Amino acid sequence: MPAAASEPRGGAAGDRLIAGRYRPAARLGRGGMGTVWRATDELLGRQVAVKELHPDGGAPATAALREARAVAQFKHPHVIGVHDVVEQDGRSYIVMELVEGGSLADRLRGSGPVDAPEAARIGIALLGALSAAHRQGVLHRDLKPANVLLEEGTGRVVLTDFGIAQLPGSTTISEDGAFVGSPEYTSPERMQGAAAGPESDLWSLGALLCAALSGESPFHRDSLGGVLHAVVTDEIRPPLATAPLLPVVRGLLERDPARRLTADEAHEMLRAYVSSGATPVAPRQYTPTERVAVVEPARRSRTRAALIAAAAVVVLGGAGAGAAALLSGGDEGGGQARAAAGGTATVTGHASAAAEPGPPGPTVTVTRAGEPSPLGTAPAGYRHVRDPDGFGLTVPAGYVRTTDDRRVFYVSPDGAFRLGIRLQQSVSGGPLGVMRHSHANGPDTNPGYRGGKVVSTTHQGHDAALWEFSWNGFSAAEGPRHTYDECWDENGTMYDVWVSAPVSRLDEAKRHFDTALDSFTPSA
């Protein structure tokens, strides 16, 4: 770590001993929980790092010490070594190994994002560190680039700052009411104030991989309220730079902890990438249909709204009514929009346009080996899937499945093509009313919305509407895009299928769109 000239509490650097043996020399860093000093262990004649805990650092020193002692019970090459825990003059200190080298955050600031092989190497090391901690019942709870050290000369990856680690069952809010962790890297379940397990650290790893590959967390916003909204309910759009590791990133950034990739699964996928250089696929044993309880859509919507409101109260506290309103109201890109002209009826807003990329979810193979397909032989370059959300269709081979609790996406390995599907109860106004509502809101949901048109049509004998438009994409790197979207009513259910793609590849996009529509079948 780069040294900064600063005096430790109680005198100038070098003027005092901590616990009779540790002599601080220079400050290495400072955070909400404490200040880290380079120091000399005069008993053993070695250099160490000493973390001086702040009594008012956001969590009681006693809790931090309890968990630091827990971390000291195990060793792992990618976990910072804890040598000692001492107290002096009313202050508590954690004595750790000194890692010569800056943090991943330092590297990103100084040299920019890392390439995919380096990100995979870092991810593998951190998975080993987290697994070692989790086996001891310890959660890190603050995994972020600033807490990952890169040792000079060896390149060793070291996970540090277990000072706020706690055992499973703890929440985001500490005993004194402070937020624990870094919001941009905090899992949705912890943001909502719920108890969290090892899966929450794996979410943080997914956000960290995004930051390593692109330069910043995908949940970076200008305010805590904005970060909370991004983590809990906004659409998660992994940066294009994550394409080589996209299935891993999406699998880790799954909002439902039960569907999140496990450490072993993520490790296997990253190892496969390192050995082959090819975009990894989900492990064969990964079976999300066995992990996920089907939730009735209306109940799911109410539960989601309640969680968002609860998250606003827990995390924002006294931040003001405006932030709470941001989370509990407004269109989430697929929420409900009230009819104009003072009407009391509601029309369920169209989901695809406002959030096409979809939040990340696990990579899955839905059609099991040897399972006969009811759709016959798939065209060259395609495969049939029977999706656990209750439908079947034909998608391009190699596309990755993701979900956001309301929509299902099949995304190309490079992230350029997004095929989306949504099922919901039929609503007043029918497909044409929904599409016209979405078209009217197009400029608000899709940057640079233009050329939008809605026409009445049919789908296999059912009333349907087709919506087509161009837009600028969600980022300059993504570039101009075009979307084809069709929805229809069938036996009390409204089905919606869309494809979004770069404007330079419209022929390919239309082929994928037509193939998906022609093959779409509701589950029996």
Q: What are phi and psi of 42, to 5 degrees?
A: -75, -15
Q: Could you tell me the two tokens for 50?
A: 């000493």
| Distance from the Cα of residue 480 to its chain's centroid | 25
| Residue 49 resides in a domain | yes
Assess whether 143 and 51 both reside in one domain.
no
| Residue 347 resides in a domain | no
Q: Which residue segment(s) compose the domain that 516 sits in? A: 357-367+376-522
| Residue 336 resides in a domain | no
Contact in structure between 496 and 510 (CB atoms under 8 Å): no
Rounded CA gap, 483 and 126, in Å?
A: 38
Assess whether 120 and 172 both reside in one domain.
yes
| Residue 441 resides in a domain | yes
pTM confidence score: 0.56
| Residue 432 resides in a domain | yes
- The order of strands in the sheet holding 400-403 is 400-403, 408-411, 418-425, 493-502, 481-490, 462-471, 450-459
Q: Could you tell me the two tokens for 155?
A: 């390149």
Domain boundary residue, one of 290, 320, 338: 290
| Residue 301 resides in a domain | no
Low-confidence ranges of the chain (pLDDT < 50): 1-10, 12, 57-60, 167-178, 284-374
| Residue 209 resides in a domain | yes
The pLDDT tens digits of the residues spanning 335-383 come to 222 222 222 223 333 433 333 433 333 333 333 223 334 456 788 899 9
Q: Count of domains in the chain? A: 3
Assess whether 267 and 226 both reside in one domain.
yes
| Residue 327 resides in a domain | no
**CATH classification at residue 37:** 3.30.200.20
Rounded CA gap, 315 and 518, in Å?
A: 46
Assess whether 454 and 507 both reside in one domain.
yes
Assess whether 74 and 148 both reside in one domain.
no
Q: Could you tell me the two tokens for 473?
A: 């994409």
**CATH classification at residue 200:** 1.10.510.10
Give me the amino acid identity at 90.
G
Contact in structure between 39 and 134 (CB atoms under 8 Å): no
Assess whether 164 and 238 both reside in one domain.
yes
Rounded CA gap, 165 and 21, in Å?
A: 26
Please name the residues in contact with 231: beta carbons below 8 A apart, sequence gap of 6 or more.
Answer: 183, 184, 186, 187, 188, 191, 219
Cα–Cα distances in angstroms (integers) from residue 129 to residues 196, 259, 280, in the given order: 18, 22, 22
For position 63, what pLDDT does the model report? 59
Angle at which helices 104-111 and 198-214 pack, to 10 degrees? 20
Rounded CA gap, 119 and 110, in Å?
A: 16
**CATH classification at residue 462:** 3.40.1000.10
Domain boundary residue, one of 290, 313, 340: 290
HEC string of 66-108 equals HHHHHHCCCCCCCECCEEEEEEECCEEEEEEECCCCCEHHHHH
Q: Which helix (H) or strand (E) holds 188?
A: helix 188-191
Rounded CA gap, 378 and 42, in Å?
A: 72
* Neighbouring-strand partners of residue 469: 483
Q: Could you tell me the two tokens for 166?
A: 């706690």
Assess whether 273 and 237 both reside in one domain.
yes
Rounded CA gap, 518 and 521, in Å?
A: 9
Domain boundary residue, one of 97, 132, 153: 97
Assess whether 53 and 159 both reside in one domain.
no
Residue with tokens 């890169």: 150
Assess whether 81 and 128 both reside in one domain.
no
Contact in structure between 132 and 76 (CB atoms under 8 Å): yes
Please name the residues in contact with 25: beta carbons below 8 A apart, sequence gap of 6 or more.
Answer: 3, 13, 14, 37, 38, 39, 40
Assess whether 170 and 239 both reside in one domain.
yes
Assess whether 490 and 389 both reside in one domain.
yes
Assess whether 387 and 489 both reside in one domain.
yes
